[in-house]
Amino acid sequence: MTIDLLKQRPTLCATGPAGSRLALLAILAFAIVLQSVPVSAAVDPAVAKAEADRVTVVEKASSATVAIFAPGGQGGGSGVVISADGYALSNYHVTSACGKAMKCGMSNGELYDAVIVGIDPTGDVALIKLLGRDDFPFAEMADSDQVRVGDGCFTIGNPFLLATDFKPTVAFGVVSGVHRYQYPDGTLLEYADCIQADAAINPGNSGGPMFDAQGRVIGINGRGSFEKRGRVNVGVGYAISINQIKNFLGHLKSGRVVDHATLGARLSSDQNRRPIVDEILDDVDVFRRGLEYGDEIISFAGRPITTVNAFKNVLGIFPKGWRVPLVYRRDDQVHEIYVRLRGVHREAELIARAAGGAKPPEGRPKREPKPGEPKQPKPGQPKPNDPPPDGPEKPPMPLPGGPAKEESPLPEIVKKHFVERPGYINYFFNQLNQDRVWKAFTARGDYSPLAGNWTVQGELLAGGDFQIELSDQASMISLPGGRAMVGMAGDLADSLDPPGSGGLLVTLGLWRRMLAGGPTKFGDVYYLGTAPLVGREGLFDVLMATHNSVESQLYFDPASGQLVAWEMFADTELDPCELFLSDYREVEGRMFPFHVEVRYGDGVYQVLQINKYAFAKPQPAEGS
């Protein structure tokens, strides 16, 4: 910084007005002083090195930052490339002004076409993909939970859309606060668990990266507190934490409108400021897992919870449907449960709202009442925290399948990466990931010849033999206690035998149907994104598959490609039947699990230790 200032001096001088002799004298005096002092006193080599390091870090970080321009020049913002193949993060409120395609300028002076991939309107995040290269400079993502108040940080972006030559603007600052909560506008644009910094975030910085001192992305800038001074930075900006975005990244790559999560229970502080369950719905997972009114929440998703805000912070970083641990206290007893989070919105509602459809009658309350809490600013006064700099009041995103808007024709390269389908932002990327997951799963063998009946034999861990028969028409199991059979043609949601399994036979029947027929013949299948599994490290690719009236979630290990879990939901208000598939071994050239744990509700129904698979030849279809 200082060196740069010096470099600019001759220019300044050349254009400066006639000056005083004093100035000249002062300079001479300094020159003499500098000449007479030892080298080390002039510039500490460590300072010079720090300076050089910083310049390098900023240069590298700048090269991954993009200036986003909406087609036709109506708006724009910033973004950051996070992988060499061109995936880039920005704000939903930036890309919503752009529609399907946008132009992205990089610091090398090149302008690239980019296409929308997926959006998270609640979290104000959008994923886009820059096209035309497979070696884009990209920024590494940090672990934003390690960020501490006082850490150096810098923002790079396109404030006030200054970067007409695509050279981004850099602003240094310190982290002012971590795990901040900023209230949503209705149910959208909620900044939970965000990072507050005094590095300048101005209109146009939205969607751009906030870096740590080492040049790793710690967040995506998108919001600031403004008030009487107009929409310019007053040293209070907020970035969506990159750890939150990592949770959503798989979902964003699915080409969908991604939803956030709720617990289905509301907390409030009691007189000792402890977060207590104040209200709980009776049709949600957390209720079925045993949480009750009056329970004290101790930790959530591994983070200690001491206030209601802390709880909302944690809740805000997870996608709908994720299962996270919750620890609560009741009568001095501590209980740990795993809770499946439900969505904030209904699917159609979210898509409509993302499309700028009619506003819902009422958003969530701006602030949950906390008894005994200090007085809050009453409604009606100017909000201390404005919506993001570029404002959500931008023209709504023209969703595929939405009302036809006249648009400039898409560039050829964008057309190749865009598929319109109702309910999706860009179905191209959903198909891409479905294909990827299925290809990885079938890499060790093609299951499609196995269209005949399947027989699976083995022992129960609890003791006794079992035999399973699976066919197109029916699924049957023989257990030491007796036999059970369900037809695979009727309403599957009504056939949850054997009792206590949550629908093991239907699940096994669907498993066979998927393997033998593949996703295209199965029914409605789409790529959901990534999600964790209880007891397993990391995130898993999830396919959502609907057949008949039941919905299944299939979890694939991204490393091995194996199907590791199958959850069958007969009804959204019921617990799923869960199969955990492991000990894959080769059977006739294909991989099959030899250990299947069947779980339902809070417990394990059975553990199947398989010792034999037998596949009958497919029979010619009757009557056709």
Catalytic machinery residues:
93, 124, 206
| Nearest CB to another protein, comparing residues 19 and 589 | 19
**Is residue 236 involved in binding another protein (CB under 8 A)?**
yes
Q: Quote the least distance from Cβ 229 to another protein, whole Å.
A: 6
Q: Quote the least distance from Cβ 432 to another protein, whole Å.
A: 39
Q: Phi and psi at residue 284, in whole multiples of 5°?
A: -115, 160
Region 383-402 residues binding another protein, contact defined as CB under 8 A: 384-385
**Is residue 190 involved in binding another protein (CB under 8 A)?**
no
| Nearest CB to another protein, comparing residues 372 and 463 | 372
- Judged by CB under 8 A, which stretch of 241-249, 302-310, 449-457, 509-517 contacts another protein? 302-310
Residue written as tokens 């030491």?
Answer: 480
Alpha helices, DSSP H, located in 341-389: 347-354
- DSSP string for residues in 475-513: EEEEETTEEEEEESSS-GGG--PSTTTTSHHHHHHHHHH
The Cα 265–Cα 67 span in angstroms is 41
**Is residue 233 involved in binding another protein (CB under 8 A)?**
yes
CA dist 240 to 6, 142, 144, 538, 615, Å? 36, 13, 10, 22, 51
The Cα 85–Cα 81 span in angstroms is 9
- Position 373: which residue type? E
**Is residue 10 involved in binding another protein (CB under 8 A)?**
yes
Residue from 73, 371, 382, 463 in contact with another protein (CB under 8 A): 382
Binding mask 145-164 for another protein (x = CB under 8 A): ---xxxxx------------
Q: Quote the least distance from Cβ 478 to another protein, whole Å.
A: 58
Helix (H) or strand (E) holding 517: helix 504-522
Least Cα distance to 599 among 551, 535, 542, 545 occurs for 535
Query: Can you give the length of the chain in residues?
Result: 624
**Is residue 471 involved in binding another protein (CB under 8 A)?**
no
Residue from 369, 377, 422, 500 in contact with another protein (CB under 8 A): 377
Tokens of 562: 């194996």
Q: Phi and psi at residue 557, in whole multiples of 5°?
A: -75, 120
**Is residue 299 involved in binding another protein (CB under 8 A)?**
no
**Is residue 44 involved in binding another protein (CB under 8 A)?**
yes
| Nearest CB to another protein, comparing residues 38 and 589 | 38
| Nearest CB to another protein, comparing residues 234 and 419 | 234
Region 267-286 residues binding another protein, contact defined as CB under 8 A: 269, 273
The Cα 4–Cα 6 span in angstroms is 5
CB contact at 8 A, 262 and 253: no
| Nearest CB to another protein, comparing residues 7 and 109 | 7
Q: Phi and psi at residue 248, in whole multiples of 5°?
A: -95, -10
- Judged by CB under 8 A, which stretch of 46-54, 85-93, 258-266, 589-597 contacts another protein? 46-54
CA dist 270 to 279, 291, 305, Å? 13, 17, 14
Q: Quote the least distance from Cβ 89 to another protein, whole Å.
A: 24
**Is residue 24 involved in binding another protein (CB under 8 A)?**
yes
**Is residue 18 involved in binding another protein (CB under 8 A)?**
yes
Report long-range pairs for 416-420 (Cβ below 8 Å, ≥24 apart): 417/115, 417/129, 417/131, 418/100, 418/101, 418/115
Q: Quote the least distance from Cβ 195 to another protein, whole Å.
A: 12
Residue from 111, 162, 213, 493 in contact with another protein (CB under 8 A): 213
**Is residue 404 involved in binding another protein (CB under 8 A)?**
no
Residue from 135, 228, 404, 620 in contact with another protein (CB under 8 A): 228
The Cα 424–Cα 406 span in angstroms is 19
**Is residue 55 involved in binding another protein (CB under 8 A)?**
no
Least Cα distance to 360 among 348, 374, 372 occurs for 348
**Is residue 179 involved in binding another protein (CB under 8 A)?**
yes
265-269 and 275-280 strand pairing: antiparallel
**Is residue 46 involved in binding another protein (CB under 8 A)?**
yes
**Is residue 2 involved in binding another protein (CB under 8 A)?**
yes
Q: Quote the least distance from Cβ 194 to another protein, whole Å.
A: 10
- Judged by CB under 8 A, which stretch of 315-323, 366-374, 433-441, 496-504 contacts another protein? 366-374
**Is residue 36 involved in binding another protein (CB under 8 A)?**
no
CB contact at 8 A, 76 and 95: no
